[in-house]
Amino acid sequence: MTARVGSWLPLSPGERAVAIEVLTHGPLSRTDIARRLDLSAGSLTRLTKPLIESGLLVEVAEGAALPEARQGRPSQPLDIVADSRTFLGFKITEDMVYGVVTTLRSDIVARHDLPLASHDPSEVVDVLGELTDEFARTFPGLAGIGIGLGGRAQDRSVVDESAFLGWHDVPLARLVEERTGLPAVVENDVNALVEAESWFGAGRGLDRFAVLTIGAGLGYGLVSGGKRVATAEDGLGVGRHWIVDPNGPLTPEGARGSAVSLLTIPSIRYQVRAATGRDVSYDEILALAAEGEPMAARVVDEAARALGTLVAQIANFAIPQKILLAGEGVGLVDVAAPAVEEAILANRHPRAEPVNLETKVSDFHDWARGAAVLAIQVLVLGSAAA
């Protein structure tokens, strides 16, 4: 069993605010921190002293690059000690567990994966424990574990429901803590990815930011006021009820015209297999479409137009400063970008601002990194907003 290590908890609300500001925007001078958080110089000194003494913050040498130039004598900046703690992030899929170790700033420093032979919770926990033991041999100071999976999680602890694992009311965090001796948090994988991109990725520093993921499933998350919007629908798989084309294709389960039936990798493969009798991979379908093979081109074009329609709807109603398109299915955009753009324009006001759309091919280690960010937010910083 991996030994539990100490943390900086509990942080006061003021200490937490300072730590998060430096973590997500640093290095920052004391003047900048005080201005951003509306603190007096004395209050800031009182709040930063225990953070420096604990090893969470460090004074950077004079002359270090700061994000904002200042007139007059610069104050000595503060920065997070990124490698002072390491964190585990796991992404559980139907047949694999993908694991990463990250620094306090979510940089991945190690990867290791193991297959799942069973969905029995005890056996899944054994795989998570085996991976933790493997990582701990190289990183003995692991501070905590974040776990992301498709499904619903209650209180960052219990998996209420996970269809692909066949789970209901599984106390995964407690089971993992008992096996590893490390504190653990559990969350829907899309929520975890949104948190990671908001703090450290494409949405860093943005007030309104949206994430749309396409892959084995479809995911959506929204950041407003710099915080992820949590709803009762988290983890329910809303893509099945996001109707894009009422006359569109069927999924294997019989749903017609939904975003899931048009955009997800299994549905795209199903459409091609139903029409041709051939079982080909998603990458092969994209390659065939690029070469002009009629059936693959038709399916990919329909998917691209559905994607453009969704992006336009998100832009119309959420009004984000940026939309990140992520997941293992975003190669669709490389093959059919004109169709995506055409559908976006067709569903937007002619004088609307262009949609700031960024694409990111995300492998399962990116999803695992998102889970590690949850551990950083909750276990180390005690972020109430996480």
C-alpha span between 364 and 127 (Å, rounded): 16
| Continuous H helices in 26-55 | 30-37, 41-53
Within 8 A by CB and 6+ apart from 190, the residues are 211, 213, 219, 220, 221, 235
Give the bridge partners for 100, in sequence order.
89, 111
Q: For residue 252, what pLDDT is reported?
A: 59
Q: For residue 6, what pLDDT is reported?
A: 43
Q: Do domains 13-80 and 85-195+366-380 have the same CATH topology?
A: no
**CB half-sphere exposure, 131, CA atoms < 13 A:** 29
- Give the residue with greater pLDDT, 349 vs 62: 349
**CB half-sphere exposure, 177, CA atoms < 13 A:** 15
Single pTM value for the model: 0.85
The architecture of the domain spanning 85-195+366-380 is 2-Layer Sandwich (3.30)
Q: For residue 56, what pLDDT is reported?
A: 85
Average pLDDT in the chain: 88
Q: For residue 69, what pLDDT is reported?
A: 42
Please check whether the domain covering 13-80 is classified as CATH 1.10.3720.10: no
The architecture of the domain spanning 204-362 is 2-Layer Sandwich (3.30)
C-alpha span between 351 and 274 (Å, rounded): 41
Model confidence over 197-217: pLDDT tens digits?
998 999 988 999 999 999 988
Model confidence over 4-29: pLDDT tens digits?
444 445 678 888 888 888 988 878 99
Domain layout of the chain by residue ranges:
13-80, 85-195+366-380, 204-362
Model confidence over 335-344: pLDDT tens digits?
999 999 999 9
